[in-house]
Amino acid sequence: GTLKILVCGGGNGAHCMAALASCRPHVEVRVLTLYKDEAESWTKALEEDDMTISITYSENHTEDVKSRPSLVTKDPEKATDGIHMIFFTVPAFAHEQYLNAISKYVLDNTLLIGLPGQAGFEFQAVKALGTKAKQCAVASFESLPWACRIMEFGRHVQLLGFKESLGAAILIGSKSNLTAHSLDIIQFIFGENPVFKVINNYVAINLMAKSIIHPPLMYGRWRGYKGEVLQEKPLFYQGVDEEQAGLLSKVSDEVVNTAKVIQDKRKNIDMSAVIHILDWYREYYCHEISDHSCLMKAMQTNKAYDGLLHPMKPGGDDGKGFIPDFHYRYTREDVPFGLVVMKGIAEIAGVETPTIDTIITWAQKQLGKEFIVGNRLTGKDMNETRAPQVYGFETLDHLFHV
Ligand code: NAD
């Protein structure tokens, strides 16, 4: 029969996913977008012509492919009717809105997929599904499979490059008939690249979320900031110094230690996917990094990071110059949907995380929030995070018997 999938979102990733999946035989694709008038304008674009996806396979091999989703709507009931798989392809702060919109229509044995999930997606999804969670499965990808951007809304999207490999974890409800093989179907939808690597448990993928990277670098660069206006935006990765690299390395040590303690307490759980950030760079950016000798050099010489700048906003009175933007997603998302989730898992494992605590404490001040108090996650704004505790996961048993 036909595989029916739903793509939630209306941004770069959602365009790419919708256009790519619509090219596959026996796959029907629908799109649910709740943001502003995106559903209307995308529908209008489709009345005129199919979508075009310009795919870059290599430097001198690009291809334009035409395809169209069968429906773009803001109506969650129409969107979910008879659907087998639901992809969430939006920034993490928008997940909750989509989960709440679709949860009452979700059928048994539906697979929900965070593409990417970002830390805490599973906790939030399980909570939103309520009793249905046992009949469904929740998968989470560690990143988006492609670099992509919209050229013209609803009409044209560019797939600039494929990742070579990509980790995914699946959390299967005890009464569902889904299996890890459900991920094979997703591989078919995406095509040859990236090659999926199934990571054995979802807690490991939460600890490996890439939201680990930005906050320590922000803290290291700006912790002594006194409001001065800069004439240029500093380089984010190429400008990493020993201190910033040291902070990221320590955060990574705390995460790896958390995994190790969980592994010691639960012999049947495989946490081997949790590795130090330097080892991860060496593996994932093997060809892009020219100096692998240490974390600082690896980041400075990673071609994939060429020219990326610190998030800055206009600063000086004369409209010239820049000041740091502490509300950019490097802090606004990567702390409540990243470091705080990892800290929450560490708390459950009984692991101290002094460096992570220091960085959360600094970041929450910039954001005007309170997540952590001292070294405990008891701040008044904890409900705005995706720490497991927010959803009632308080012990290792809770974590591993969803
Ligand atoms: P995007 O910035 O294109 O997403 C914008 C879309 O999000 C909007 O079109 C809208 O549908 C929704 N949205 C925005 N503000 C909203 C709001 N206030 N309320 C509800 N919905 C809102 O994002 P993207 O580029 O598709 O990326 C999706 C995820 O993939 C992100 O987590 C991103 O970090 C990650 N990612 C993207 C790329 C890429 O190449 N685009 C690469 C790697 C990872």
pLDDT in tens, 61-78: 999 999 999 999 999 999
DSSP 8-state secondary structure symbol assigned to residue 233: P
Whether 46 contacts 56, CB under 8 Å? no
Residue of 31, 90, 149, 160 to test ligand 1 pocket, by largest number of atoms within 8 Å of CB: 90
Within a 13 Å sphere around the CA of 178, how many CA atoms are in the beta-carbon half? Answer: 26
How many helices (DSSP H) and strands (DSSP E) are in the chain?
Answer: 15, 14
Cα–ligand 1 centroid distance for 385 (angstroms): 18
Q: How far apart are CA 21 and CA 5, in angstroms?
A: 9
Tokens 């809105």 belong to residue? 97
**Rounded average pLDDT over 44-57:** 97
**What's the one-letter identity of residue 159?**
L
Cα–ligand 1 centroid distance for 203 (angstroms): 24
DSSP 8-state secondary structure symbol assigned to residue 289: B
Q: What is the pLDDT of residue 82?
A: 97
Tell which atom from ligand 1 comes closest to the C-alpha of 150.
3
The per-residue pLDDT of the chain, averaged, comes to: 96
Q: What is the pLDDT of residue 163?
A: 86
Whether 402 contacts 171, CB under 8 Å? yes
Q: What is the pLDDT of residue 317?
A: 81
Q: How far apart are CA 158 and CA 55, in angstroms?
A: 6
Ligand 1 site, CB within 6 A = 9-14, 33, 35, 38, 89-92, 94, 97, 116, 118, 143-144, 147-148
Cα–ligand 1 centroid distance for 93 (angstroms): 9
pLDDT at 402 over 80: no
**Rounded average pLDDT over 23-40:** 97
Active site residue: 15, 84, 95, 214, which one? 214
DSSP string computed for 70-107: SEEES-HHHHHTT-SEEEE-S-GGGHHHHHHHHGGGPP
Q: Beta-carbon neighbour count of residue 7 at 10 Å? A: 31
pLDDT at 401 over 90: no
Interval 126-152: pLDDT, tens: 999 999 999 999 999 989 999 999 999
Tokens 């969803």 belong to residue? 402
Grade residue 188 by pLDDT with cuts at 50, 70 and 90.
very high
- The span from the first CA to the last CA of the chain, in angstroms, equals 31
Residue of 35, 41, 141 to test ligand 1 pocket, by largest number of atoms within 8 Å of CB: 35
Q: What is the pLDDT of residue 200?
A: 79
Cα–ligand 1 centroid distance for 114 (angstroms): 12
Burial zone of 14 (CB within 10 Å; 0-12 exposed, 13-18 middle, 19+ buried): buried
Q: What is the pLDDT of residue 287?
A: 87
Q: How far apart are CA 383 and CA 46, in angstroms?
A: 39
Q: What is the pLDDT of residue 281?
A: 93
pLDDT at 286 over 90: no
Nearest CA to ligand 1 atom 44: 144
Q: What is the ipTM of this complex?
A: 0.98
Q: What percent of the chain has pLDDT over 90?
A: 90
Report the greatest alpha carbon distance in the chain: 63
Q: What is the pLDDT of residue 256?
A: 98
Q: What is the pLDDT of residue 45?
A: 98
pLDDT at 365 over 80: yes
Whether 182 contacts 139, CB under 8 Å? yes
Tokens 């919109």 belong to residue? 101
Q: What is the pLDDT of residue 201?
A: 86
Whether 170 contacts 138, CB under 8 Å? yes
Residues 6+ apart with CB under 8 A from 379: 364, 369, 370, 371, 372, 373
Please list the helix, strand and coil fractions of the chain in percent, rounded to the nearest 5, in that order. 40, 20, 40
**Rounded average pLDDT over 271-297:** 94
Q: What is the pLDDT of residue 369?
A: 98
pLDDT at 253 over 80: yes
Q: What is the pLDDT of residue 319?
A: 79
Q: What is the pLDDT of residue 212?
A: 95
Sign of the CA dihedral 282, 288, 293, 297?
negative
Q: What is the pLDDT of residue 265?
A: 96
pLDDT at 224 over 80: yes
Residues 6+ apart with CB under 8 A from 119: 206, 209, 211, 337, 338, 341, 342, 386
**Rounded average pLDDT over 267-281:** 94
**Rounded average pLDDT over 300-315:** 94
Q: How far apart are CA 345 and CA 151, in angstroms?
A: 40
Label the pairing between strands 322-324 and 312-314.
Answer: antiparallel
Tell which atom from ligand 1 comes closest to the C-alpha of 329.
34
Tell which atom from ligand 1 comes closest to the C-alpha of 92.
32
Grade residue 285 by pLDDT with cuts at 50, 70 and 90.
confident
Is the N-terminal amide bond of 194 cis, ω within 30° of 0? yes
The rounded radius of gyration (Å) of the Cα atoms in the chain is 21
Residue of 8, 12, 89 to test ligand 1 pocket, by largest number of atoms within 8 Å of CB: 12
Between the ranges 156-165, 194-203, 277-286, 375-384, where is the mean pLDDT highest?
375-384
**What's the one-letter identity of residue 284?**
Y
Q: What is the pLDDT of residue 304?
A: 87
Q: Beta-carbon neighbour count of residue 78 at 10 Å? A: 12
Q: What is the pLDDT of residue 72?
A: 98
Catalytic residue list contains 214: yes
Nearest CA to ligand 1 atom 31: 91
pLDDT at 102 over 90: yes
Cα–ligand 1 centroid distance for 220 (angstroms): 27
User: Reduced to 3 states, what is the DSSP secondary structure of residue 221?
Assistant: helix
Interval 315-356: pLDDT, tens: 978 878 999 999 999 999 999 999 999 999 999 999 999 999
Q: What phi and psi, each to the nearest 5 degrees, are found at residue 344? A: -60, -45
Burial zone of 259 (CB within 10 Å; 0-12 exposed, 13-18 middle, 19+ buried): buried
Cα–ligand 1 centroid distance for 91 (angstroms): 4
What is the Cα 88 distance to its own chain's centre?
A: 10
Q: What is the pLDDT of residue 374?
A: 97
Residues 6+ apart with CB under 8 A from 224: none
pLDDT at 3 over 80: yes
Grade residue 168 by pLDDT with cuts at 50, 70 and 90.
very high
Whether 337 contacts 308, CB under 8 Å? no
